[in-house]
Amino acid sequence: MTSDLPTNRTALPVGRALIAVVILLAASGAALARKTHTVKQAPSAAVERKDPAEAAEKDASRGGRPDGELMLEFQRDIDMARVRRAHLLGRTAEMDRLLRDIAGKYRTDGDREYHYYMGLVLNEAGEYRRAVESFLKAIEIAPDYARARNSLGALYCRLNKYHFALAHFRKALEVNPYNPFLQYNIGSLYFEIGDTANARVHLENAIKYKANFGRAYHRLGVLAYQTQQYERAIEYMAKAVEFRAESHTTHYYTGMSYFNLENGSMALASLKKALKIKPDFFEAALDLARIHHSYGEFEGALEFYRKADALNPDYPEIKLSIVECLRELKRYREGLALVRQMLERDPENERLRRLLKNLQDQRLIENLAEPFDYFTY
């Protein structure tokens, strides 16, 4: 009987070998898959791994605050930087708008800068009481806030409250003794109240800490003029012009200093510069007239007396000086006409009556004067 089973005995070992290969490949594939998975996950695991010390430092720098709060503070700093820029550019209206916007977006109770700049805006608008309140609020938040104390002191000076002004200036000076503008403000305050010694000390400190401080040189020049130190006054005013603090009063005090030093030509030149800068400068026009008059230059005196009279027609002494110049120039008809105009306004003025009579007599004498005859032989 023939069997249906295979008679080749090598078939069994071959089959077993094939099964072993399949198992081996399967195992290798699984191992490779695990290795690939591990490699792909490695970067992710590395990112998630944090240095505890670095994380603690980062949290400390943020103060444990959420990102939203930090972003709000960052935006507020940007908005306040815009306010500072507007202040530096002198754009008060823009400052006002920006500050109102800040007040609508952020809390300002403890913000010293907000109250300081709001004080500047209110001061510029002439709302002095509210400006004082804003500066005081800034100082309440930060007692050592020298800028707020300085601005408040300047405002008190404007309001003639010098005692309060000096108190805040001194507090600011304790914080910032080398600030030239603060030194200038204190010096100007002492100047206003007549304390020339302290005024000079602080004004000289101002130019010590800011060598090109033209306005401080100008103030020192005025101080020197008022204390009859005319040569020093001229030196200080020259420095003021050099450092672009030139003004009509700079040349006026220079001119009057030269006049007191009996240098008439320099005096006239400086006073004419003052009048050129400010054509309606009454004092310069009047002093130009008086200097010309004192040197017997009646045409020049008449020119500037008339200019001064046009600027201030209610100054009778000027009209009398005009009449005197006209008399010296023998222009009696013009002098008589002016005296008659003055008598129409003040008919009981005895001085004008005498002047009118004097001019009439002089005119008559001039008209009747005969040529001097002499004989030859």
As a whole number, the mean pLDDT across the chain is 82
The answer to whether 290 and 306 have CB atoms below 8 angstroms apart is no
**Same-domain check for residues 288 and 274:** no
> What are the Cα distances from residue 243, in Å, to 4, 198, 236?
126, 24, 11
Distance of alpha carbon 349 from alpha carbon 224, whole angstroms: 41
343: Cβ contacts below 8 Å, ≥ 6 apart = 349, 352, 353, 356
Domain annotation covers residue 136:
yes
**Same-domain check for residues 187 and 272:** yes
**Same-domain check for residues 147 and 194:** no
pLDDT tens for each residue of 237-261: 999 999 987 899 999 999 999 999 9
Domain annotation covers residue 61:
no
Distance of alpha carbon 280 from alpha carbon 274, whole angstroms: 10
**pLDDT band per the 50, 70, 90 thresholds, residue 139:** very high
Residue 183 pLDDT: 96
Boundary-marking domain end, from 249, 278, 307? 278
Residue 15 pLDDT: 47
Domain annotation covers residue 46:
no
| HSE (side-chain half, CA atoms, 13 Å) at 96 | 9
**Same-domain check for residues 296 and 313:** yes
**Same-domain check for residues 286 and 360:** yes
**Overall pTM > 0.85:** no
**What is the CB neighbour count within 10 angstroms for residue 269?**
14
Nearest partner of 342 among 307, 318, 310, judged by Cα: 318
Tell me the Cα Rg of the chain: 45
- The position carrying tokens 């009996």 is 262
Distance of alpha carbon 61 from alpha carbon 51, whole angstroms: 16
**Same-domain check for residues 298 and 246:** no
Question: Alpha-carbon dihedral of residues 274, 275, 277, 280, nearest 10 degrees?
Answer: 130
Domain annotation covers residue 219:
yes
Mean pLDDT, residues 38-48 taken together: 44
The answer to whether 340 and 323 have CB atoms below 8 angstroms apart is no
Residue 196 pLDDT: 94
pLDDT tens for each residue of 196-206: 999 999 999 99
**Same-domain check for residues 273 and 288:** no
Q: How many structural domains comprise the chain?
A: 3
The CATH number assigned to the domain holding 73 equals: 1.25.40.10
Q: Which residue has the higher pLDDT, 50 or 119?
A: 119
Mean pLDDT, residues 88-110 taken together: 83
Residue 107 pLDDT: 77
Boundary-marking domain end, from 109, 125, 159? 159
**Same-domain check for residues 135 and 107:** yes
254: Cβ contacts below 8 Å, ≥ 6 apart = 221, 233, 234, 237, 238, 270
Q: Which residue has the higher pLDDT, 3 or 271?
A: 271
**Same-domain check for residues 228 and 267:** yes
**pLDDT band per the 50, 70, 90 thresholds, residue 9:** very low
**pLDDT band per the 50, 70, 90 thresholds, residue 63:** low
pLDDT tens for each residue of 47-60: 445 555 555 555 55
Look up the domain containing 341 and give its range: 279-364
Residue 105 pLDDT: 77
**Same-domain check for residues 222 and 273:** yes
Mean pLDDT, residues 302-322 taken together: 92
pLDDT tens for each residue of 159-186: 999 999 999 999 999 999 999 999 999 9
Domain annotation covers residue 375:
no
Domain annotation covers residue 255:
yes
**pLDDT band per the 50, 70, 90 thresholds, residue 354:** confident
Distance of alpha carbon 162 from alpha carbon 134, whole angstroms: 19
Domain annotation covers residue 230:
yes
**Same-domain check for residues 228 and 255:** yes
Joined together, the tokens standing for residue 40 give 């792909």
> What are the Cα distances from residue 192, in Å, to 46, 216, 223, 254?
73, 14, 11, 21
The answer to whether 95 and 122 have CB atoms below 8 angstroms apart is no
Boundary-marking domain end, from 278, 299, 324? 278
Joined together, the tokens standing for residue 346 give 């003040």
Domain annotation covers residue 315:
yes
**Same-domain check for residues 286 and 344:** yes
**pLDDT band per the 50, 70, 90 thresholds, residue 41:** very low
